[in-house]
Chains A and B, each alone.
Chain A
Amino acid sequence: MTTAILISIIMTLVGAATPILLAALGELVVEKSGVLNLGLEGMMLIGAVTAFGVTFTTGSASLGLVAAMAAGAAASMIFAFLTLTLTANQVATGLALTIFGIGLSSLIGQNFVGRTVSGLEHIFPAALADDPIGRVVFGYSPLVYLSLVMTAFVAWFLTRSRAGLILRAIGESDEAAHSIGYSVIRVRYLAVAFGGAMAGLGGAYYSLVMTPMWADRLTAGRGWIALALVVFASWRPLRLLGGAYLFGAVMTLELHAKAAGINIVPPEFLAMLPYLATIVVLTLISIAPSGRRNAAPACLGKPFRATG
């Protein structure tokens, strides 16, 4: 295998991993606060179509990115209102958000089908970004570097910052956090909004970077892979980063193998692997010593009603 091919493989792998990493980072924070939002796919699609629409209309991809985050956050607020304020079932509401997002993005996108935009510019000078070797470090979309920065930020936030500790406390025991005076609902609203914005950003990666266009269901189910990734990473940001690249490798290596004329395993099997890996990790977590058994936030998915 030549260096050029190896570099290309790494670059497609990183490209496939980045949008699910972005979306999963947001979901990780949401789940750490004790909320399960299954609407990732819907929020990603809303982010994708908004990013494309705004970039196409204004000509500014940066504006498109900001709009995608705002749109993802706005969509997540519907979920937050229903589940946090009205204490609706989180699983059902999250699934509804996904279905809603598919329909809404298709409606908004009607006028953008068949159009194209130039997408995001590189941030490093062309001498580095286009260099045959240098491109493996410098040749990515700005969103790739942003996803790495965000991983570090989320890791720091959850373990080192006061706000992050409060968020985790709420996710582990909302009653206790409430009784010592923290506003459970307010923190969860903020967490869900952050999750929505990150999902929107993940969606924007598809419509501005991966394939600079809009078409119905552009994300083609990647939101579910991002959800699985959070469990796979057992709610740890750095493990999430590794998991995203592993999932990215699973999703793209089969294509490279087949392009090289190598048929190792059936493609259907590889398509199934991210989910299979998640089940295996879940099983391992369940049978591991008690220290790891508590990887999932204790209040995950449970509605909270303030009492007293």
Chain B
Amino acid sequence: MSRMNRRQILVGSAATLALPALIGRAAAQDGPLNVGFVYVGPIGDYGWSHAHDEARKKAQEHFGDKIKTNYVENVAEGPDAERVIRQLAQQGNKLIFTTSFGFMNPTIKVAKQFPDVHFEHATGYKTADNVGIYNARFYEGRAVIGTIAGMMSKSGKAGYVGSVPIPEVVRGINAFTLAAQKVNPDFTTQVVWVNSWYDPAKEADAAKALIDQGCDIISQHTDSPAPLQAAEQRGVYAFGQASNMIDFAPKAHLTAITDNWGPYYIDQIQKQLDGEWAPGNIWWGIEKGLVGIAPYNDIMPADVKEAADKVKNGIASGEIHPFAGPITDQSGEVKVPEGDTIPDEQLLGLDWYVKGVQS
């Protein structure tokens, strides 16, 4: 395991360029397999990048000295990314995970220059002979917490701190609301956009404003634990994002949707070791363990825990589809008739809200 920041890798790259490339290559073949990871945020963000790094650690633990993982954190989505990905390829990493949507074009570009290196890009849509893509069905987790919200909320009104209205976030809001309405048909979700993935003070103020309006349960699609802290202060319930955030709000935190990339990373690294890696396009959810649910808070009554588990297991087995009809949109028009579900290609571009969402 080695840890680099951008500056160190730049210094390192000068050395690599100066040395004959053979040395690096030979070392890579004889020694452990080098696997690279590129993160958009700091590993201490307690959110997205933190989860990817936890998965990297799990893979390292799983394979022991058969692999050596290298990561670069805090890589901006832009020209920097291309440089960092290229350095990782030059330094002998044979499999490189680029873990943010904005790394898509740099990954494709570098992949062309290194045909014998394999790349895995998260949450994008461009593939190549040596670039596979992977994503997680986080909306499945939203359906589980929506079920809990529907049962725990007395006012039947949830507050949702949203980042930006892209399909990923819209899917989450809809899945959450639909699941809650299965429990309480009159359930509504009030969304406040903070127009940022990360602005703790604004996220906290947004949560407070929602609580003032009578929302007694807070869900969030932003990266800081600030909304949870606001919920804790005001004595309402909330859910963690990306990691188990119970330490920030021991009373408010009912559970969290956790990102578990570990199984996928282990799978792909195993294939690389076996020489069987091929570019894939996967969108896994609860069933494969990519999306997890953090341990339930003891405050939750047994019947709520049971109902949440039922939804979780139902989604895993395929019995429950979070977007099964009938689904009506905000105007009351039936978008999905009974018996139908929203197909994946439409889910990927979802841009309308279900009835009960106020945005």
Contacts and interface: CB of A to CB of B under 8 A. Distances in A.
Interface of A: 4-5, 8-9, 12, 15-16, 106, 109-110, 113-116, 206, 210-213, 215-220, 222, 251-252, 255-256, 258-261, 267-268, 271
Nearest first, the 9 A-B pairs at minimum CB distance are A113-B44, A259-B209, A8-B212, A255-B209, A211-B226, A220-B199, A211-B200, A256-B209, A259-B213
Contacts of A222: 201
B45 A216 contact: yes
Contacts of A218: 200-201
9 contacts: A109-B44, A116-B248, A213-B200, A255-B192, A255-B202, A258-B191, A259-B190, A259-B213, A259-B215
A12 B199 contact: no
B213 A211 contact: no
B205 A15 contact: yes
Given A8-B212, A113-B45, A215 B200 contact: yes
Main secondary structure of the interface of A (DSSP, over half): helix
B224 interface: yes
A109 B74 CA distance: 15
Interface in B187-201: 190-196, 198-201
A213 B248 contact: yes
Nearest to B247: A116
A255 B206 contact: yes
Given A215-B224, A255-B192, A113 B204 contact: no
B98 interface: no
Interface in B132-190: 159, 190
B118 interface: no
A195 B294 CA distance: 45
Scoring A222, A251, A255 by chain B CB atoms within 10 A of each residue's CB, the highest score goes to A255
A260 B191 CA distance: 10
B228 to A, nearest CB: 10
A252 B45 CA distance: 25
Contacts of A206: 200-201
B341 to A, nearest CB: 29
A252 B201 CA distance: 10
A113 B46 contact: yes
Contacts of A261: 190, 358
A215 B213 contact: no
Contacts of A9: 209, 212
Given A255-B192, A261-B358, A267-B193, 16 more contacts: A8-B212, A12-B205, A16-B201, A113-B46, A114-B44, A206-B201, A210-B204, A211-B200, A215-B44, A215-B200, A220-B196, A220-B198, A251-B205, A256-B213, A258-B192, A260-B213
Nearest to B161: A255
A252 B202 CA distance: 8
A293 B208 CA distance: 41
Given A220-B196, A258-B193, A215 B45 contact: yes
Interface in B206-231: 206, 208-210, 212-213, 215, 224-226, 229
B201 A271 contact: no
A176 B189 CA distance: 64
Interface in B35-78: 41-42, 44-46
A271 B194 CA distance: 10
Contacts of A212: 229
Given A116-B247, A218-B200, A268-B195, A110 B205 contact: no
Given A5-B213, A211-B224, A216 B44 contact: yes
B199 A211 contact: no
Contacts of A16: 201, 205
A195 to B, nearest CB: 21
A213 B225 contact: yes
A113 B159 CA distance: 26
Contacts of A4: 212
B303 to A, nearest CB: 30
Contact of B192 (A211, A216, A259, A268): A259
A114 B212 contact: no
A220 B193 contact: no
Given A259-B159, A259-B210, A259-B212, A210 B192 contact: no
A22 to B, nearest CB: 14
A48 to B, nearest CB: 10
Contacts of A251: 202, 205
A120 to B, nearest CB: 12
Given A116-B247, A215-B46, A216-B42, A252 B229 contact: no
Nearest to A217: B198
B243 to A, nearest CB: 8
Given A110-B44, A213-B229, A256 B212 contact: yes
A212 B225 CA distance: 10
Nearest to B229: A211
A45 B191 CA distance: 30
Nearest to A113: B44
Contacts of A211: 200-201, 204, 224-226, 229
Contacts of A217: 198
A51 to B, nearest CB: 14
A101 B319 CA distance: 52
A114 B193 CA distance: 24
Contacts of A5: 212-213
A219 B204 CA distance: 12
Contacts of A109: 44
A206 B226 CA distance: 11
Contacts of A115: 247
Nearest to A109: B44
A258 B198 CA distance: 19
Nearest to A253: B209
Nearest to A110: B44
A218 B247 CA distance: 19
Contact of B195 (A116, A210, A260, A271): A271
Nearest to A116: B248
A254 to B, nearest CB: 9
Contact of B201 (A8, A116, A220): A220
A216 B42 CA distance: 8
